[in-house]
Structure 1
Amino acid sequence: MLTLISSAKTLDFAKAASSHVHTLPEFIMDSDFLAGELRKLSPNEISRLMGVSEQLGEVNAERYKLWQSEVTSSNAKQALMAFKGDVYNAMDVESYKASDIKFAQAHLRILSGLYGLLRPMDLIQPYRLEMAFKFDNDRGRNLYGFWGDKIANELNKQLRLLKSKTIVNLASNEYFKAVKPKFLEADVVTPVFKDYRNGDYKIVSFFAKKARGLMGCYIIKNKILEAGELKTFDVDGYHFNKKLSSERELLFTRRQ
C-alpha cells in the first residue's frame, strides 16, 4: 500500500533534520530543468506566476538563482522534515522512530510541482512551485502537462515492488490530478473528513488538512498495509462512518 500526500508551501530549512538518512529524488533531472526555466524569470514575473506579493516574488527568484544541480545534505533537506503546514504539523515527524522513518520511506509518497514525486527522505532544495501554477513549458501549458504520466508510471513501479494494488489518497485534488489516475494500476481509496456543522456533516478545510496529517501519522506508526485497517482510525474525535462511506471513499466524521 502506498499513501499519497501533497507538498506544502511552507518550508523549514533553519532547523536541523532529526535524521541523517537521505536519498535523491527520482526525477531530479526534470526538477533541474524546471528550476533552470524559473531562474530566467524576474521577481515580478514570478510574483505574477505564483500570485504572490513582490516580496515573496523576490524570495523565490533568489531561491532559483541559488539552485544547485548537485544536491547534497549541505544545500538540501529531507522532504518530510522540510515541509511544514497543517498536514505536516499533524504528522508529528519529530516523534518518529527509525522504524517509522523506514516504513514511511517505503510506503509514503509526496506529490510536488517541482519534483513530481518524492520519497520522505529525498533531499529537496528551498522552492515554491504549486502544481496548479500555469507555468508554460516545453511539455505543455502547465505542470500537469509537464509531468504527463511520469508520476503514475513511477507509482505503478513502486506498487509492483510492494506487491500491492492499493493507493491511499490523502493529497489535495490539485495535486492528485497530476497523478493521472486513469494510468494507475491500482485501486484508489480516499479518506474524507467531515465535521458536524449546522445540522449536517461538512468538510472544513483547516480541520480536514489536519486530519489528513493525523491519518498519515496513524498509517506510519501503526505500519498499516491494508486499506481496510484505516477504518480503525479513531483520533482527535474522528470515527469511521460506515453509513456515509463507499468502497472507494472512507468517510470519517466528528461532532464537537
Structure 2
Amino acid sequence: MKIITSPAKLMNVDYSTDFLRSTTPKFINEAALIQSYLKEKTPKYLSELMEISSKLADENWERNQKWKAKPTAKESCPALFAFTGEVYRGLNATSLDKKAVDYLQKNHRILSGLYGLLKPSDKVMLYRLEMGRNFEFDEYKNLYAFWTEKVTEQLNSEMKKNEILLNLASNEYVKVIDRKKLNHQMIDFDFYELKEGKLKTIVVYTKHARGLVARFCAENNAETLNDVKAFNYEGYRIDEEKSTDNHLVFVR
C-alpha cells in the first residue's frame, strides 16, 4: 500500500532525526531545472504567480537564490519533518516511533511542485511552488505538463501488483497523477462533520484528517483496505453506506 499527501506551504528545516538516513530526491535534476527558471523570476512575478504579499514574495525570492541541489544538513531536512501545515500537524511525525517512521518511509510519498515525488527521507530546502500555479518554463505550459508522466511512472515502478494507493492529497496535487495510466486502484477520501443533523465539509478539518489517516496507518501497520477502514482517530468513523470500493467516507 502506498499513501500520497500534498506538501504544505508552511515549512521548517531545523529538525533532525536518527530515525531516517537522509536521501536525495529521485527527481533532483528535474527540480534543479525548474529552479534555474524560478531563480530568474522577480519578487513581483512571484507575488502575482502565487497571489502572495510582497513580503512573502521577497522571502521566496531569497529562497530561490539560495536553493541548491546538494544542500548541507543545516540547510535542509527530511521531507517528512520539513512540512508543517495542517496535514502534517495531523500526522505529527516528530512524535512517531521508529517502527512507524519506517512504515512511512516504505509507504508514504509526498507530491511536490518542485521535487515531483518525495520519500520521507528525501532532503528538501525551503521553497514555495504550488503544483496548480500557472508556472511556464522551457516548453512546458505548467507543472502538470512537466510532472504527470514522470510521477505516474515512478509510482507504478514503486508499487507491487495489487497494491492500493491511498489518495490523501488535495485535488490540486492528485491531478498530477494520470489515473488512466496508473496500474493500481486509487482510494479517495472524504471527511465530514455532523452538525445539527447535516454533514459538512470543513477544509481545515479535512486537511488534519488526511494527516491522521497517514498516522493511523503508520501506527497500526495498515496493509489492506479493511485495515484503513478501521481508522477511528479523533472521533472519526467510517460511513459504510456512503463509502464505495474506491471512495471511503468518514464522519464524526
TM-score, normalised by the number of residues in structure 1: 0.94
**CA-CA distance at 1:171 after TM superposition:** 0.4
**CA-CA distance at 1:71 after TM superposition:** 3.2
**For residue 37 of structure 1, what is the aligned residue in structure 2?**
37
Asked if the contact 1:24/1:122 (under 8 Å) is kept, the reply is yes
1:180 equivalent to 2:178? Answer yes
Whole-Å Cα distance in 1 between the matches of residues 69 and 110 of structure 2?
A: 21
Count of residues paired in the alignment: 251
**For residue 5 of structure 2, what is the aligned residue in structure 1?**
5
From 199, 202, 226, the equivalent of 1:201 is 199
Letter in 2 for 1:126: L
**For residue 17 of structure 1, what is the aligned residue in structure 2?**
16
**Identity across aligned pairs (percent)?**
33
In the alignment, structure 2 segments of 5+ residues that lack a partner are: none
Letter in 1 for 2:69: S
**For residue 63 of structure 1, what is the aligned residue in structure 2?**
63
Give secondary structure in 1 for the equivalent of 2:243. coil
1:196-235 counterparts in 2 under 5 A?
196-235=194-233
In the alignment, structure 1 segments of 5+ residues that lack a partner are: none
Give secondary structure in 2 for the equivalent of 1:52. coil
Give secondary structure in 1 for the equivalent of 2:228. helix
**For residue 138 of structure 2, what is the aligned residue in structure 1?**
138
Q: Deviations over 1:99-145 (max 9, x none)?
A: 22211111000000000100011000110000101001224211101
**For residue 171 of structure 1, what is the aligned residue in structure 2?**
169
Give secondary structure in 2 for the equivalent of 1:236. helix
**CA-CA distance at 1:234 after TM superposition:** 1.0
**For residue 89 of structure 1, what is the aligned residue in structure 2?**
89
**4+ residue runs of structure 1 moved beyond 6 angstroms?**
none
Whole-Å Cα distance in 2 between the matches of residues 218 and 139 of structure 1?
A: 41
Over aligned residue pairs, what C-alpha RMSD do you find?
A: 1.3
Whole-Å Cα distance in 2 between the matches of residues 167 and 16 of structure 1?
A: 28
Give secondary structure in 1 for the equivalent of 2:180. helix
Q: Deviations over 1:198-244 (max 9, x none)?
A: 43212111111111111110011111111221111111111011011
Q: Deviations over 1:54-112 (max 9, x none)?
A: 01110000001011132342321100101001110111111111222211111000000
**For residue 125 of structure 1, what is the aligned residue in structure 2?**
125
**For residue 109 of structure 1, what is the aligned residue in structure 2?**
109
Whole-Å Cα distance in 2 between the matches of residues 204 and 16 of structure 1?
A: 30
Asked if the contact 1:137/1:146 (under 8 Å) is kept, the reply is no
TM-score, normalised by the number of residues in structure 2: 0.96
